[in-house]
Amino acid sequence: MSPARGGETGADAVPTTPPLSPAQARALHLHAQGLLARPRRRARKADVLAAIARMQLLQIDTIHVVARSPYLVLFSRLGAYEPRWLEELLAQRAIFEVWAHEACFAPMDDYLLHRNALHQREHHWAIRNAQRHRAGRGGEIDRLLAHIRELGPVKSSDFEREDKGQGGGWWGWKDEKRWLEAGFALGELMVARRENFQRVYDLAERVAGVAVPDWDRAVIEPAQVRRDTILKSVAALGIAQARWIADYYRTKPRLRDRDLDALVAQGALLRVAVKGWDAPGYVHPEHAEALAKAAAGRLRATRSALLSPFDPVVWDRERAREFFGFDYTLECYTPEPKRRYGYFVLPILARGRLVGRLDAKAHRAAGVFEVKALYLEEGVEGDDALAEDIAAAIDECARWHGTPKVKLGRCRPAAFAKPLKAALAAVARAE
């Protein structure tokens, strides 16, 4: 099978590759994301960096009723690994933190791309807030930068909060925290390391400056930045419709098929059809071999895992619906009476499908992994085979947390509780 080139333009282009089935498109997506199959060996520190580079971005969130999101995203792909490796890579300047999709870790190799892409993200809420603070409180921010230049890196906790109130979003932070975040969002400050997951800020010249030649002078033209972020997004997604691409790096505007015609004509992107899609898909040439395997039915999804709510697979609600028929909304910021599923609900990936979701909490002191509730998707058959896959995923995650005793709450449908409990008991005995 030859890769699609697309001789015509726009959505009417006729791909030369036979249309993929939805399952084949999902397999290609999961292959690109590192979620197609179980790891073949125990993870090493280099695998953490490789996983981040493969995804391009690893979103950061601090909620830790189970593992904090970046650790859980990596675990879903790597299996058991040492979470400290993430902080070590940050301190070693192998990765850095940046506002992209949201606050993310990214490979230091992409620092110049992100620095030059800053103007393309001026619509982002964090950057807008930072610009507002820079315009109104520039003198205070400059004094803070001078303080850091003279005395070294700082944490926001180094500055006492005068009103002793409760922090929250930007509106609830003490001034120094706002100024640190403004400097970070605008690239004047960077995160040198984390201590107990708390950011330690330093001047960009002392972080990127020791890792990236010409870190503050190298200019990438806007058209090249746009091209690079498009290609990296498609590579990370495996296969993507045009309208999904800009969201990955939070750039604007949303793309249309005709915006990608030149890249297809150049061979920088492959245009393919997917049965049931109302628009073509796009594949990076680095995935041409995987595309051929997918089209031949030889790219098999065998991985079952619990995903973070901030996993790239589900962070675009529209894309998750199209790929998996899975409508996911994060409810941790929703008032409890209005929640449908729970506070920190983990999507369940089972052999290429998102088959359900569970509300979990890791009780580390007691060694208990509590599944408060587990919900199968409408139309998913809760048979013994699925119970075994889900039980293995729960057990693997629980043991990595150091909470090997699984406590199962309610299941929907209720009848699924029996095979799931039996499967959990069996996998526990096998350990």
Q: Running DSSP on this structure, what letter comes out for residue 82? A: -
| pLDDT band at residue 52 using 50, 70 and 90 as cut-offs | very high
Q: What is the mean predicted confidence (pLDDT) over 125-148? A: 90
**What span, in angstroms and rounded, lies between the C-alpha atoms of 337 and 84?**
36
Q: What is the pTM of this model?
A: 0.92
Q: What is the mean predicted confidence (pLDDT) over 4-21? A: 58
Instruction: From 243, 281, 353, select the one nearest 20 (Cα to Cα).
Output: 281
pLDDT at 11 over 80: no
- Mean pLDDT of the residues in the chain: 92
Q: What is the mean predicted confidence (pLDDT) over 284-300? A: 97
> Do the strands 58-59 and 103-107 form a parallel or antiparallel pair, or are they unpaired?
antiparallel
17 phi, psi to nearest 5 deg: -85, 135
pLDDT at 50 over 70: yes
Range of lowest pLDDT (8-22, 57-71, 317-331): 8-22
pLDDT, one tens digit per residue, over 239-264 is 999 999 999 999 989 999 999 999 99
**What span, in angstroms and rounded, lies between the C-alpha atoms of 202 and 294?**
46
User: What is the three-class DSSP state of 423?
Assistant: helix
pLDDT at 5 over 50: no
- Look-up of token digits 């049931």: 276
Output the pLDDT for position 161: 59
Output the pLDDT for position 14: 44
| pLDDT band at residue 302 using 50, 70 and 90 as cut-offs | very high
Q: Is the pLDDT higher at 163 or at 18?
A: 18
Q: What is the mean predicted confidence (pLDDT) over 115-124? A: 85
Question: How many H helices and E strands in the chain?
Answer: 16, 12
**What span, in angstroms and rounded, lies between the C-alpha atoms of 381 and 388?**
13
**What span, in angstroms and rounded, lies between the C-alpha atoms of 342 and 63?**
14
User: What are the residues facing 373 on neighbouring strands?
Assistant: 359, 410
pLDDT at 166 over 60: no
125-136 helix and 175-185 helix, angle to the nearest 10 degrees = 120
Output the pLDDT for position 160: 65
Output the pLDDT for position 1: 39
Residue pair 327/321 in contact by the 8 Å Cβ criterion = yes
| pLDDT band at residue 162 using 50, 70 and 90 as cut-offs | low
Q: What is the mean predicted confidence (pLDDT) over 48-65? A: 96
pLDDT at 3 over 80: no
pLDDT, one tens digit per residue, over 355-385 is 999 999 999 999 999 999 999 999 999 999 9
* CB-count burial class (<10 Å; 0-12, 13-18, 19+) for 53: middle
**What span, in angstroms and rounded, lies between the C-alpha atoms of 359 and 430?**
25
Q: What is the mean predicted confidence (pLDDT) over 110-135? A: 89
Q: What is the mean predicted confidence (pLDDT) over 163-179? A: 61
Give the type of residue at 279. A
Output the pLDDT for position 121: 82
**What span, in angstroms and rounded, lies between the C-alpha atoms of 30 and 312?**
10
